[in-house]
Amino acid sequence: MKPYVYITRKLPEALVKPLQEKFNVNMWEHDDIPVPRDVLLEEAKKANALFTVLADSIDDQVLTAGNHLKVVANLAVGFNNIDLETASKKGIAVCNTPDVLTDTTADLAFALLMAAARRMIEAAEFVKEGKWLAWNPFLMAGTDIHHKTLGIVGMGRIGETVAKRATGFDMNTLYYNRTRKPEAEKQLGVQYSSFDELVEKSDFIVCLTPLTHETKNLFTREVFQKMKPSAIFINVSRGAVVDEQALQEALEAGEIAGAGLDVFQKEPISSDHPLVKLPNVVALPHIGSSSVETRTAMIQLCIENIIAVLEEKEPKTLVNKDWRPLVKGLK
């Protein structure tokens, strides 16, 4: 029998065709409703491969639901939604989609910074609501971006690409990272900084760090209070790196000037979310890598990884490096 692949979101048929030509493929029928837990568990019992998204919890229960699963291909760079330890013990390869979304996510991060700084969303709504009755010198006045200090927390590929964009705005860029990046310092003119120094000196703080035990709730009320009152905080990493209550309080108290958020602790959020109600917050629905070109490339990479593992070959972007297949013949 052909291997069985289950896809947890509805994808364009044309993109799924390479899988359908080789395997039995089933796909959740909705693109705007998450696959229910009971359906996911039932599919995991019989699947040889799971094509997942970041919102799917691929925990011990899912990974041990059946005895056939060989690969989980996650449509994201992040993989904090997957129990890697269990996957490795079960001989299940976990794959992600790095590199192909770097430029697109960096574009979004910088666009979010600009939108928050220049009050673009607020100004657009001002016009649409018929409130533009006259011109005055400080109508919807925001803050300049050029020649300001940018602080990047998490200097991976996306962080370096954001820093590259900042050079076009003549910004002074600081960065904080687990490891220092001498080559990036040389090529981009960025400066390594302690976390506290970055927080205190930056006019814009862009968070791009992965979610780990160390970075969970990294941004607390105390951290926001150390920022400049004119600072704008941008988060394009994971919602859980921020204490959202602390951010709300800091914004309401005027301890920082604004925020641009593409991610939240629990997604999706509603229009009643406290942060969404604040006029100095630009909120987006987790669209960091959401361009047609990039999402297509991400899907194709997931498919390539699934095909490789099911054909007993090495996947392109393996996350759990300690993975060893429980079947022989991997090339």
pLDDT for 35 beyond 80: yes
Q: What does pTM read for this prediction? A: 0.92
Q: What is the pLDDT of residues 166-205, one digit of tens each?
A: 999 999 999 999 999 999 999 999 999 999 999 999 999 9
Q: What is the pLDDT of residues 127-169, one digit of tens each?
A: 999 999 999 999 999 999 999 999 999 999 999 999 999 999 9
Domain ranges of the chain: 4-98+292-310, 102-283
Q: What is the pLDDT of residues 253-294, one digit of tens each?
A: 999 999 999 999 999 999 999 999 999 999 999 999 999 999
Q: Per the residue annotation, which of 9, 119, 165, 286 is the catalytic one?
A: 286
Q: What's residue 211's pLDDT?
A: 92
Q: Per the residue annotation, which of 9, 119, 165, 238 is the catalytic one?
A: 238
With pLDDT > 90 as the criterion, what percentage of the chain qualifies?
Answer: 97
Q: What's residue 250's pLDDT?
A: 98
Fold classification of 4-98+292-310 (topology level): Rossmann fold (3.40.50)
Residue 286 annotated in active site: yes
Using pLDDT thresholds of 50, 70 and 90, give the confidence band for residue 331.
very low
Q: Per the residue annotation, which of 125, 267, 293, 314 is the catalytic one?
A: 267
Residue 238 annotated in active site: yes
- Per the prediction, the chain carries an average pLDDT of 96
Question: What average pLDDT does the segment 203-220 reach?
Answer: 96
Q: What's residue 328's pLDDT?
A: 52
Query: Given its phi and psi angles, is residue 85 left (phi above 0), alpha (psi -120 to 50 degrees) or beta?
Result: alpha
Q: What is the pLDDT of residues 301-315, one digit of tens each?
A: 999 999 999 999 999
Cα dihedral 149→153→155→158 (10° resolution): -90
Query: Given its phi and psi angles, is residue 177 left (phi above 0), alpha (psi -120 to 50 degrees) or beta?
Result: beta
Q: What's residue 31's pLDDT?
A: 86
Report whether 62 contacts 40 (CB < 8 A): yes
Residue 252 annotated in active site: no
Fold classification of 102-283 (topology level): Rossmann fold (3.40.50)
Classify 162 as helix, strand or coil.
helix
